[in-house]
Amino acid sequence: MSAHFSDPRENVLQLGLREGMKVGDLGAGSGHYARAAAAIVGHSGKVYAVDIQEDVLKHAKSNVHERHHSIVETIWGDIERQGGTKLRDHLLDAVILANVFFQIENRDGLLAEVKRVMKPSGKLLLVDWAGSYGGMGPAPERVVSERKAEEFFINGGFHKVKDFRAGPHHYGIIFTAP
């Protein structure tokens, strides 16, 4: 893992996950966060890695360590649409949105789906690019500032628990579900 990027393991620790919890990694990409969560929730827990890119999901599945295969379930789904993740209502103790918020076109759809799948006491981990960094991160016009992201979720009914530095180029915010 290069120094430019945030450390999924460190960032996931901020969520306070426990053995047996159910976690959704929405917009899972290659599954770094799903793997980090799987190591914590263990075999009595479950991690749902949801992404709309099928090829990326195949890659994510092959990256999961043998001993975590039964913990991580990959789901081809649309996180920007209510019902799009195919998960049951109020299933998840925690949701991870890592390096995906800046790509979201339909933020209201995402918000509705996150609220639907989370338990009322659930926690949300948001990690995203703090800037563009000369093309290393998203295009400058795609970057969502920490303040804007925070405002969006608070206006959506979430409560901010804390923010933290999620790596040299990323911010992290923990929210609790409404």
Is the pLDDT score of 84 beyond 90? yes
pTM of the predicted protein model:
0.95
Sheet holding 22-26, edge to edge: 72-76, 46-51, 22-26, 92-98, 118-129, 170-176, 159-165
Output the domain CATH number for residue 64.
3.40.50.150
d(CA 19, CA 67): 15
Q: Is residue 84 part of a domain?
A: yes
| Domain ranges, residue 77 | 8-176
**CA atoms of 172 and 166, how far apart (whole Å):** 5
Q: pLDDT tens digit string along 3-41?
A: 456 789 999 999 999 999 999 999 999 899 999 999 999
**Of 1 and 164, more confident:** 164
SS3 label, residue 60: helix
User: If you compute the radius of gyration of the chain from its CA atoms, what whole number of angstroms results?
Assistant: 15
Please check whether residue 51 lies inside any domain of the structure.
yes
Decide if 100 is inside a domain: yes
Mean pLDDT value of segment 106-113 = 98
Q: Check pLDDT > 60 for residue 118.
A: yes
When pLDDT is cut at 50, 70 and 90, the band that residue 2 belongs to is very low
Classify residue 172: in a domain, yes or no. Answer: yes
Q: Evaluate whether residue 1 is within a structural domain.
A: no
User: Does 2 fall in a domain?
Assistant: no
